[in-house]
Structure 1
Amino acid sequence: MARPLWSGSVSFGLINVPVQLVGAVRDLDVHFRQLHEKDGAPIETRRFCAEEDREVGYDEIAHGYETDDGTMIVLTDEELEAAAPRRSRTIDIDAFVDAGEIDPLLLDHPYILLPAGETDGVRRAYRLLAEVIEASGRVALGRIVLRAKEQLVTVGARDGLLALTTMRFHDELRPAADVDTGGARRPSAAKLKAAVQAIEAMAADWDPGDYEDRHRVRLQAAVEGSDRVEQVDDEDAADGGGRAPKSTASPDIMKSLKASLEKARAS
């Protein structure tokens, strides 16, 4: 089991459940180190003062905020500390909401909450909270101070465990009105019907095991000197994965929709 990132308790009403926070995802990316191509020596990152052209230590580093007009406002450690959230070891639940009401774009990073302690009382309280949340079909909304930052979170149930997901605040999402769509007209009813048919023909049951990270497979194959990378490239070529379609000045949407529908039905 991963090392706990945080320990505290989930609290709502008169119920207080001691928990530990662990990561819910694994980092399976292929990581590389930067090397000097000439001799293979590792590359180091150092901090230099642009004015004095010398390396500076962490104790000499201040924090500056640049305004729109280019003015640099320097904040002291005391000012930053005063703005920091109050340190807390409690996830205070504010409300229970329908999970379907939460915009998926607001969800950020998933974690697992585990019972903190081996006593029967702690485990019973944890099991009660997990089963109540799962039975309600809702998720709890609360806040947690994690890595010196207060974050909004949801607490739900997954496979008998409590699952916590950090969230973005609503004003962090870019409004749809700010996105330029080019002023395109609404599609005709015939085009909408053809598009819906194409989507329905491609409908399938979701199975995450059907998908793999092809880029990671190719990198691993390259590191291992395997010919597996060629096999994955062949799969990409077969289904067009990773290759952008050629653009045309005036694409025939109906023709493309019909071709997509015929391909979906054939497969």
Structure 2
Amino acid sequence: MSVPVEMWSALRDRNIRFREIHTKDGSPVRHVRYCIDEGKKVDPSETGRAYELDDGRLIPITDEELEGLEPEKTQTIEIDSFTPRSQVDPLRFDHPYYLVPGDKTVGTVRAYRLLVEAMAEGDLLALGEFVMRGREYLAAIRVRGDVLSLSTMHFPAEVRSSEDVPGPAEVPGKEEVENAVSVIGERSVDWDPASYRNQHRERLMAVIKKKDKGKKIKPPAPAPEEKPTGAPDLMAALKKTLAESRGKRRKPRDLSGLSKGELYELASERGLKGRSSMTKQQLLKALRRG
């Protein structure tokens, strides 16, 4: 089955970018290409690229050589297989996109909806490959609400195994685990993404706006350095955190203002069975029931 789709980035670029300046007068700084051996400036037309070996030698690589390695250009996403969502580690996911119908014809929309419903019913994830900007990517396609999303994936060799990371040697006792589960359970809530903000970005933008108005910024006092007090007591730390958070616990999320697609996405995250055939009101009732 062939389904025409368009790719839309699922992320908004909210990064704050800085220009490099000359601190003496505030003017922008421009970098100049400079040849180390000849000790002079180099025109961009005279520059190329090279791979540096471990011993410091440089192996020049031309544009033509790179072009010869590029995969065959294609406008399709080849789906190789379908697999349960739970079997693919999210650690392998990279950049997310949305896939929307490529046109509004009845055949395209019907085929798209059929794929969405079938994958949602089986809680499946599609694995495939595609080419973008001259590079081949692995891709995972999932259902999110009423649409398909695609995440580029890291190749297996790019993901470090958890076995390569040193873990704790000591195994806690059964009673300790039960106590920890109890304390953690008291603080468990439904995840509400709207309750989290990029506070660093907000503080930085506030500083920029103040300086733009000619206001001076007073640097904050350095935070006191915490000195280690021996082996950490996890239970004590958990109980302290819980005690501090009491009274500040977030209220249950109001789901009434969500669209059917958003309710379906939340139902997918919670693994509610039969969600693909539910109406908006049925989804709302099932989610509130938990």
Task: Give the alignment's TM-score, normalised by structure 1.
Answer: 0.78
Match of 1:94 in 2: 80
Alignment RMSD:
2.6
Do the aligned partners of 2:184 and 2:238 also contact (CA within 8 Å) in 1?
Answer: no
Asked if 1:249 is matched to 2:235, the reply is no
- Does 1:133 pair with 2:119? yes
Matches within 5 A, 1:25-40: 25-40=11-26
Code of the aligned partner of 2:91: L
| Separation of aligned partners in 2, 1:53 and 1:89 | 47
> 2 CA distance for matches of 1:70 and 1:41?
36
- Using a 3 Å threshold, how does the CA distance of structure 1 residues 257 and 115 change in structure 2: closer, same or farther? closer
CA distance 1:136–1:254, change in 2 (3 Å):
closer
The match for 1:229 is none
1:152, 1:127 → 2: CA distance? 23
Query: 2:93 & 2:225 partners in 1: Cα distance?
Result: 29
The alpha-carbon deviation at position 249 of structure 1 amounts to: 2.6
Amino acid at match of 1:251: P
Partner of 2:146: 160
Secondary structure of the corresponding residue to residue 2 of structure 2: strand
Aligned residue for 1:197?
182
Q: Which position in structure 1 is the counterpart of 2:263? A: none
Alignment match, 1:69 = 55
Quote the residue 2:280 is aligned against: none
Q: Aligned match of 1:120 in 97, 102, 106?
A: 106
1:219 partner letter: L
Give, as a single letter, the amino acid of the residue that structure 1 aligns with 2:64.
Answer: E
Relative to 1, partners in 2 of residues 1:244 and 1:156: Cα closer, same or farther, differing over 3 Å?
Answer: farther
| 1:90 counterpart SS class | coil
- 1:153 CA drift (Å): 0.4
Whichever residue aligns with residue 32 of structure 2, its letter is: R
Specify whether residues 252 and 155 from structure 1 end up closer, same or farther in structure 2 by C-alpha distance, changes over 3 A only: closer
Q: Which residues of 2 match residues 180-191 of structure 1 at below 5 A?
A: 180-181=166-167, 184-191=169-176
Q: TM-score, normalised by structure 2?
A: 0.72
- Choose from 55, 60, 69 the match for 2:41: 55
Pairwise CA distance, 1:84: 1.8
Deviations 1:82-121 (A, max 9, x none): 2222211110100011111110110111001122234333
| Kept in 2: contact 1:198–1:260 (CA 8 A) | no
Q: Which moved more, 1:255-264 or 1:69-78?
A: 255-264
Distance, in Å, in 2 between the alignment partners of 1:41 and 1:265 is 51
Unaligned runs of 5+ in 1: 1-14, 227-241
| 164, 167, 170: which one aligns with 1:178 | 164
Where does residue 70 of structure 2 map in the other structure? 84
Structure having the larger proportion of residues in strand: 1
Identical pairs, percent:
40
Report the CA distance between 1:22 and its aligned residue: 1.4
Give the structure 2 partner of residue 8 of structure 1: none
Tell me the secondary structure at the aligned position of residue 221 of structure 1.
Answer: helix
Instruction: Tell me the equivalent position of 1:4.
Output: none
Change (3 A) 1:190 1:259: farther
Separation in 2 of the partners of 1:205 and 1:142?
A: 32
Cα deviations across residues 52-92 of structure 1 (Å, max 9, x unaligned)?
23333444333222223333222232322222222111101
